[in-house]
Amino acid sequence: MNRIKLLTLSLLLTLLYSAAFAQQLRVEPAFWWTGMKDTHLQLMLHGDNIRNLTPSLNQAGVALKDVIKVKSPNYLFLNLDLQNAKPGKFTLQLKRGNKTVHRYTYELRQRAASSASRQGFTPADVIYLITPDRFANGNPKNDNVKGMTEGLNRSDKSGRHGGDITGIIQHLDYIQDMGFTALWVNPVLENNQDRTSYHGYSTTDYYQVDPRFGSNKEYVKLSQQAKERGIKLVMDMILNHIGSEHWWMKDLPTEDWLNFQGDFKTTNHRREAIQDPYAAAYDRKLHTDGWFVESMPDLNQRNELLATYLIQNTLWWIEYADLGGIRMDTYSYPDPDFMSEWTRRVMKEYPNFNIVGEEWSLNPAIIAYWQRGKQNPNGYTSFLPSLMDFPLQGALTTALRDDESGWDTGWLHLYNVLATDFLYADPQNLVVFADNHDMDRIYTQLNQDADLTKLALAFILTTRGIPQVYYGTEILMHNEERGDHGIIRTDFPGGWAGDKVNAFTGKGLSPEQQEMQQFTKKLLNWRKNAAAVHTGKLTHYAPYKGVYVYFREQGDNKVMVILNKNEKPYELELQKFAPQLQRIKQGTDVLTGKTYELGQSKISLPVKAPLILELK
């Protein structure tokens, strides 16, 4: 009897011992898929003094090709070949001699049959941009989480306000009803920083959703439930830098894992140096290798182990969360050759996918440099499909604020920037927007003029490209203190229990806000089926006396857009538009349903308003 008890106790201790070791060993990525086009997989293993342990596995179709040791004794990198692998689980062991020190059960999952052919966001979509901490608090239980440094402080404009993934899920019906078909959510990965962690741009774990936002499973649920409503999920990613509290920082794998490792230097933000034929090498290096701030260590993507890690992490999230797109933060700041390889690898796995890069420049030539298909003088090749069209955004706000008194004022700013589209390899695939989370809200930029805000939205929803709308624009949200990000990213009314105003239901909105919301909803839902503004040919006429006119045409589908800034009645002469209006007798305003007779010489325009006519 005692012998049986001892054997039972010994078995129990062995199991507990194995479980303890399993918990101490970090393996990333934690699981993978069969059926990927690239059959190579690199595992990062992290645990105490594992460098001199011998890894092994015994799984048909899985070959351990290389074991890479680095300076830190606590890492091993394993290169696996999965060419003949089948879905299933196998045991990865780390041994010292004949003794097993670590065991890890690794899983290879079956890749969904349609995964590789997934369609990313296109010009047929409209993207709704959300800052998750400021949209809706669906689960107050995760407002404060043990182990997370920063807790809830809704009274602090730069603090955490409690918005989360559950809050977004709870309001997917609103997003769908408004007419949005894609959802870009600012970063949700763990950001365990001491302060200002709400924005998400200082990642501390690339494989875990921040528990104050929810969990990995909740993020997948968001993707699934959005997809059921015809909404694609666009993930916000950051490959340039991490947060200073990232777990790597306590034990960096190599001496060159970071740029200026141990010798902090700030980036000069001279993005032009990348393309400048006269730029000093010093300026190029400082732009890409310098840090934003000391709390954002800059990653060295020239390190091949780190580069592979980041590429695999991207593929993992696309596959795991069934993503419909990626928005890449600070696109020109990482190593340019790495970004070329990163986009190549992603687009190889998902040929119909879409990625939009952030390059904050008002110079179209700088933006165009990074787009796939662009023939660059220096030979640089990019595989990035889309970019944020900052030049057009800047021209739009300038055009709307400027008067029409001069030969090159007002709408001419916008007209002139669109005229530079010859610089782009694919201008139809640029993301157009009136504002975003990093700039004053469009209603603020336009001095709280609702009519001008409608003109701005009418433009981005009918011009070439893929429109993006920031949450709250539909209800004229604004920021009193210009340039203050904490106020720009203010709470969406109705997202918190006890809110007196609820934009989801309309309760408490002013008449002007309600009108703007209905205007946006009407235009968005019309756009869903307006093929001409998705991919139709764009023909614009030089603005004249405060009126900007352009056409979108795709076969028999024709739309005439008239943007009128005049505050007094204006008669638009139609003669010069004859090439587009041949055999067209009428146009119906998509916003009011009013019919305009186009066979006459003039039409009366609504004052300081857009007129969007479906031509018949």
Instruction: For residue range 426-473, list pLDDT tens digits in order.
Output: 999 999 999 999 999 999 999 999 999 999 999 999 999 999 999 999
CB distance 199 to 485 below 8 Å:
yes
% residues pLDDT > 90 (the chain): 95
Do 244 and 202 touch, CB atoms closer than 8 A? yes
Peptide bond into 29 cis (omega under 30): yes
User: Bridge-partner residues for 40, per DSSP?
Assistant: 81
What whole-number distance in Å separates Cα of residue 572 and Cα of residue 564? 10
Of 329, 335, 440, 474, catalytic: 329
The CATH architecture that domain 126-227+434-528 belongs to is Alpha-Beta Barrel (3.20)
CA-closest candidate to residue 525, choices 240, 181, 108, 183:
181
Are the C-beta atoms of residues 160 and 133 closer than 8 Å to each other?
Answer: yes
Lowest mean pLDDT among 11-15, 254-258, 423-427, 429-433: 11-15
Q: Are 319 and 34 in contact (CB under 8 A)?
A: no
What are the tens digits of pLDDT across the range 27-60? 999 999 999 999 999 999 999 999 999 999 999 9
pLDDT score of 253 more than 90: yes
The secondary structure element, H or E, covering residue 554 is strand 547-554
What is the chain's mean pLDDT, rounded?
95
Q: Give me the residue spans of the domains in the chain.
A: 2-110, 126-227+434-528, 537-615
Amino acid occupying residue 567: E
Q: Annotated catalytic residue: which of 245, 319, 358, 359? A: 358
The C-alpha atoms of residue 160 and residue 175 are separated, in whole angstroms, by: 23
Mind listing the pLDDT tens digit for each residue in 387-396?
999 999 999 9
User: What is the average per-residue pLDDT within 293-313?
Assistant: 98
CA distance 436 to 78: 41
Query: Do the first three CATH levels of 2-110 and 537-615 match, i.e. the same topology?
Result: yes
pLDDT band at 7 (very low <50, low <70, confident <90, very high): very low
Residue 3 has what pLDDT? 52
CATH top-level class of 2-110? mainly beta
Annotated catalytic, 358? yes
| Cα angle, residue 229 at apex, residues 225 and 232 outer, rounded to 5° | 75
Q: Quick check: is 245 catalytic?
A: no
CATH superfamily membership of 537-615? Golgi alpha-mannosidase II (2.60.40.1180)
Cβ atoms of residues 329 and 358 within 8 Å: yes
Residue pair 510/478 in contact (Cβ under 8 Å)? The answer is: no
Distances in Å between the alpha carbon of 411 and those of 120, 362, 424?
32, 17, 22
- Determine the length of the chain: 616
pLDDT per residue as tens digits for the range 506-534: 999 999 999 999 999 999 999 999 999 99
